[in-house]
Structure 1
């Protein structure tokens, strides 16, 4: 049985040098010289004159040893880009006094060294896995040999071994099954059958690195990663057929190669966009030239959106990868962008205890916080790969062409991010969003923002990630920062309050968008065309009060900058101008937790004091305000004072019932700016404001919803909208 595992290593090794890439190894070996420090040059005419008579001139070669400065400069450039193009090689050679061919040879040698290093590392990991299995099998055999009959105390007879024998048989059957799969799949790719899938999926252009080199070369070893550790389909759900899985694997590998090139290539592929909220946008002509086949032609009914953004975020690169590959964490961090997500099938969980080589089939729904912008649903594969030391890449690509039925409303071309390790626990993220989408159903007031690519683009993903990384750093803080004030006296209470606020934000985002696939039911004939009203029944959810809950949301345009709207709504001193809950009373901030660099990112606990109604004198409101360059939120919920005391003491916040309401504030186009991200810019332009309420209309879940309740909610939201319009426009006059 363990010989079969050794055979696994042989398969992985043989997969790394196939007839298809043998020429690449020969070429790399030809120019390999002293770890990249030496480079071979063609002789000049003076050397030819002094050549020996019997030595053919074209055989004469000399070697050039690079200076330490040249090596350091190229090493530094390699960390940023390990595959420079002609323009980059010429510029680097000019700066270092080298010929472009010398630079090219040095980078070839360096890549070969790195491939060999990764190959040795992966083989070591496989050997360790093999040794673990060997030790486990020996332990089972010893248990069998030492087993005794429970009745007589003598050696156990065949059939009397229960647990150990059963476990051993299961283990052997599993290993045999995996080895059979390895043999079948490896035969398709690296050996004898020669079966490929080029007739089903287009290959990358000739000038690009070959997708199969990425998949099966020494640096990657996708087949070895997917099968060697015995993780294949361990948590899979039936979905893809056996014939479709290799197609998905090849598509994921091709998408990975495209994303890496798009993340690292500069002009003319990427051009700076205009507007204050700027991002890099894709040059479609250059993209078509570099990737002439791609994943298939763009349907005529779909528009193309592509953008790129980069930032340094305060999170370790490994933790970032874990968030992206865990569907629950991913949905939580990007709650304003991802309204729902699900992992349908796991083709690989990676090797060596990390996500290197992980491959999963997913479905997700992306949203803008407004009922006027349709959600975008995608069925895609997500592939994670370590790309050099301290660098990871996560790519998504749609699988709609796998079983074509009709043209989808949204299709994801290779999109995702490249993550590089930075000092002190920071990471540099380069994010690429490339989709094809039908935008006809978008409301007119949101079309400038959506058509510009900002609403769903890379800048919004990166801005959200940056803000959430700051928030997580605040949650993990041991000492209470000096900016935090109020009644919070212990780190545990601070952490519980932040966790409660996080659940409040997620609940708000789940009910504010255009998605109707949640537990909410959209009501028809509610009597308000511009207000979307939904209902849900809460019975056994400890985080929500039991009964019938109504959610009402509407969006409208304001001739006021997003920054001013955000500052007005989050200020407790102006709350009585629009909040019916305050009933004209004085609102006082009892606790304040800073959540990032921008002072607008914070969690507050507010108390409403009214002189006329003693029942409301102790009402508490939990509020979180968040802002970045792409949008802002002010979300709040009334909370029970007894339950809040438990939270402030460090108790479990999951049992505090919340019904969040609040606001989502977006710029009305790419030329606007909301003032987030430590910026004082307040440029002219309008705001797109979404107002949403969740209200308990009956505490009995089995009760029937009355039309009067719907009318009351409609009246409440319209009254709030009119008060906000009047307050902010008069202040702006």
Structure 2
């Protein structure tokens, strides 16, 4: 078979009297695309003259490979040559006109046979599928199960169940016929609805899959300017249904497919369109979404009283497009890539695993917790669809969109305090091993749950906006590039091995994740909030018990954190906190003396993006055998300084490349958010948003967090003295930092 288009021509023009006329004319030939044998006229005449006995010894004229190639090429252009064309081929190939005629007849016969064999296979598969579905329906009718309680249904419900199944079957068959019609439109040939046999794994999955997902990859996105692929192959687009949990909430999978396609269309438009959809700011201001134009272009209503944030950012990432797509579609790698933004993530269901390496048409249902490093901003818990589409050879798009409560029957009565509108990124491979990424974030949320200090930050998009995602992605991809480099920059003369550097970075990553969990009260740890009247509204104290985690000391762990406005720039505050010579100004672990940096492992090209190991000065180093592991980074989305005391023996094991799982530590540190003044009330007159510090405030938001072990016995009770101690520690640390910055 040379292609699907030939099948259509053969089916339309095949002559059923072909074989009879061949035998009547006394010619016989063997046809084949690669080994075609046709009888010559002379051989046939001699055989007729010698009688029946000679027919057994007759010889066949075998066409040369060149003749077969010429005939095949002409057949692709014209499978029904006329007399003039046959004469021209006869003259050019040195064959008789009848030989040319019969070769084409045999070739069409061969194609017709192949087509019939293919259709027979499809019909048998369709018949088997319907028979299996019929058996399942009979089984369901004979032993019906109640949808509410899971027990056996009464006899009166059987007819109703049967009626519902028939209605569902009719709807699914109608949907399948519609997809087949689309296939015929784009490929120019009919496609049997049974082209992709669907395995029967149970009554529910069978009915859901029968919607015809074999056409899923080819549904068009109207208005998309990127080249779209119509991959209606023979069964190539059938997604594999691999639920990640044993019991899934009841939802309409076909509605999810429609929502994913609509979200992809919206994301591409928002990533590519400029004015009037996006308004550019003056003097470096951020782009602002024109909501009137957005409502004219897209449909959708936001809940009353909800705030909308929409941002867009474009930049280069030191990561190839395919690797980035794999990172986004792998939930564990995705969470590791954005540790300060994602506290927890899980795949609920895989509606389509996609085709091939590039994850084309992969569709997943995911749960995630998004965070800003401040106790004054609640975690955003979102259930959403993630859909990946490869639009051309070097262009991908990954879009997220929240599941509407009406589509999630288990949570239909709950409207979340945050809804993720079509958001995601457009990825284009560049020639220099970089990717051009355009990130779009669009969210509706209830700002009543956010502390007034942080509302300006979120309303301008600096809390969960696109620039924060892109800046984090750029920083993390730079870190991967450095780790893969044979000569890592930034190491000192201590002689630490490559395995030791990787172990230090791995331990620092765990330290940072635990710090973020304590600041944001992530559900990944079972924190219990402490409610005491002496604590202010901007201070959060929590506690939990560690019994079995070897990465933490056993006992009662207390976390205390707060956020305050600092009248200094982000860069100045970051440089002050990471300066080991100024550590004694605020850190009680320094014992009042300066500290020395022993090891520095760079994690990127940016200033201060590293993991380091600190120790006290010579006069107090002998007082204890503790070292301080510290991770720092700073970019346009904010800055982080996280540290934890570690004993010398454990760090020696880590620096030699040992296992970091059993190194116990409790992190403390600082998160610095871009400065949006508390007095900020909106945007510039033209509607564009301000960048941090552009309003002349020259400040930033500092989050301070401590985790301490208040008792080594997990069964111990938390005391008021412990809470007062950690609360005073927060207040004193902030006061010392402000005093030191004012003095310098």
TM normalised by structure 1 equals 0.69
1:590 to 2:617 alignment: no
Is contact 1:488-1:494 (8 Å) kept?
no
Residue 520 (structure 2) aligned to one of 491, 513, 522: 513
What SS does structure 1 have at the residue aligned with 2:516?
Answer: helix
Matches within 5 A, 1:324-343: 324-343=328-347
In 2, distance between residues paired with 1:430 and 1:348?
Answer: 25
Aligned to 2:701: 688
In 1, distance between residues paired with 2:177 and 2:433?
Answer: 35
Aligned to 1:232: 241
C-alpha distance 514-688 of structure 1, shift in aligned 2 (>3 A): farther
In 2, distance between residues paired with 1:514 and 1:503?
Answer: 16
Aligned to 2:393: 389
How many angstroms does 1:289 deviate by?
1.9
Task: Choose 643-652 or 396-405, whichever is displaced more.
Answer: 396-405
Is contact 1:587-1:608 (8 Å) kept?
yes
C-alpha distance 518-526 of structure 1, shift in aligned 2 (>3 A): farther
How many angstroms does 1:398 deviate by?
0.9
1:568 to 2:576 alignment: yes
Aligned to 2:508: 501
Residues 168-202 of structure 1: CA distance to partner in whole angstroms, max 9, x if unpaired?
A: xxx98769998886555369999xxxxx9xxxxxx
Is contact 1:619-1:640 (8 Å) kept?
yes
How many angstroms does 1:689 deviate by?
0.3
Aligned to 2:307: 303
C-alpha distance 319-189 of structure 1, shift in aligned 2 (>3 A): closer
Alignment RMSD (CA, Å): 3.8
Aligned to 1:51: none
Matches within 5 A, 1:72-471: 183-185=210-212, 208=223, 219-221=230-232, 227=238, 231-233=240-242, 235=244, 237-241=246-250, 244-274=252-282, 278-291=285-298, 293=299, 296-401=300-405, 402-403=407-408, 404-471=412-479
Task: Choose 632-641 or 486-495, whichever is displaced more.
Answer: 486-495
What SS does structure 2 have at the residue aligned with 1:273?
Answer: coil
What SS does structure 2 have at the residue aligned with 1:408?
Answer: coil
How many angstroms does 1:477 deviate by?
2.5
How many angstroms does 1:356 deviate by?
1.7
TM normalised by structure 2 equals 0.69
How many angstroms does 1:552 deviate by?
0.5
1:703 to 2:716 alignment: yes
Task: Choose 395-404 or 460-469, whichever is displaced more.
Answer: 395-404
How many angstroms does 1:355 deviate by?
2.0
Is contact 1:314-1:425 (8 Å) kept?
yes
C-alpha distance 17-359 of structure 1, shift in aligned 2 (>3 A): closer
How many angstroms does 1:380 deviate by?
0.9
Aligned to 2:28: none
Is contact 1:578-1:723 (8 Å) kept?
yes
In 2, distance between residues paired with 1:259 and 1:671?
Answer: 24
In 1, distance between residues paired with 2:737 and 2:567?
Answer: 12
Residue 732 (structure 2) aligned to one of 711, 719, 733: 719
What SS does structure 2 have at the residue aligned with 1:532?
Answer: strand
Structure 1: which 5+ runs fail to align? 27-115, 117-126, 134-170, 191-195, 197-202, 675-680
How many angstroms does 1:458 deviate by?
0.4
Residues 577-614 of structure 1: CA distance to partner in whole angstroms, max 9, x if unpaired?
A: 00000011220000111222221211111011362573
Aligned to 1:100: none
In 1, distance between residues paired with 2:451 and 2:183?
Answer: 52
C-alpha distance 691-189 of structure 1, shift in aligned 2 (>3 A): closer
How many angstroms does 1:729 deviate by?
2.3
Residues 275-311 of structure 1: CA distance to partner in whole angstroms, max 9, x if unpaired?
A: 75x43221112212222x2xx3112211211111011
Is contact 1:508-1:660 (8 Å) kept?
yes
C-alpha distance 636-16 of structure 1, shift in aligned 2 (>3 A): farther
Residues 505-551 of structure 1: CA distance to partner in whole angstroms, max 9, x if unpaired?
A: 11111111255673211111163213211111111112111111111
What SS does structure 1 have at the residue aligned with 2:475?
Answer: helix
In 2, distance between residues paired with 1:5 and 1:469?
Answer: 51
Is contact 1:560-1:685 (8 Å) kept?
yes
Structure 2: which 5+ runs fail to align? 1-117, 127-172, 190-194, 677-688
Q: Looking at CA atoms only, which structure, 1 or 2, has the larger radius of gyration? A: 2
Is contact 1:279-1:459 (8 Å) kept?
no
**How many aligned positions are there?**
559
C-alpha distance 519-301 of structure 1, shift in aligned 2 (>3 A): same
Task: Choose 320-329 or 410-419, whichever is displaced more.
Answer: 320-329
C-alpha distance 440-682 of structure 1, shift in aligned 2 (>3 A): closer
Task: Choose 606-615 or 490-499, whichever is displaced more.
Answer: 606-615
In 1, distance between residues paired with 2:378 and 2:428?
Answer: 34
